[in-house]
Amino acid sequence: MITYDDFKKVEIRAGRILAAEKIPDTDKLLKLSVDFAETKEVIGPTGEKTIEPAPRQIVSGISAYFPDPATLIGRTCMFVTNLEPRTIRGYESNGMLFALSDAEGNFSILEPNASIKPGTMAK
């Protein structure tokens, strides 16, 4: 058991998958580019500042369930977004996809309804 205060530390947000590809020489891993409605400031060659989208890279062991990773593109799913970055097979992962599986081989990613926008935090 964890305390409610410990649970409140977990940041759960909706993210839209922008790109998905199999990581070479692995059986399970996909590299996802995910939009959480985050931005970054970029300084151009002449010193001008612009704000650009800042998708996150997330590595997930779900390749067996998505033989064609492109089927994930455009889907909004739930992620833990405040984990420390972790390097998996040379790829930095900046979050964790929420998914479920059971002993019978059933699998599901957790997806909010269509009205939920990227970046929305779970309460």
Tell me the pLDDT tens digit for each residue of 33-67: 999 999 889 998 999 998 888 999 999 999 999 99
Residue 60, beta-bridge partner list:
30
Answer whether residue 4 shows pLDDT above 90: yes
Instruction: Domains for the chain: give ranges and CATH numbers.
Output: 4-109 (2.40.50.140)
pLDDT of 19 strictly over 90: yes
Q: State yes or no: pLDDT of 123 exceeds 90.
A: no
Q: How many other CB atoms sit within 10 Å of the CB of residue 59?
A: 24
Percent of the chain whose pLDDT exceeds 70: 100
Structure confidence by residue, pLDDT tens digits, 92-120: 999 999 999 999 989 999 999 999 999 99
* Torsional sign, CA 121, 17, 83, 28: positive
Which residues are within 8 A (CB) of 101 and not within 5 positions of it... i.e. 6 or more apart? 107, 108
Q: State whether residue 9 is helix, strand or coil.
A: coil
The mean per-residue pLDDT over the stretch 6-32 comes to: 96
Whether the predicted model's global pTM rises above the 0.85 cut = yes
- CA distance linking residue 101 with residue 40, whole number of Å: 35
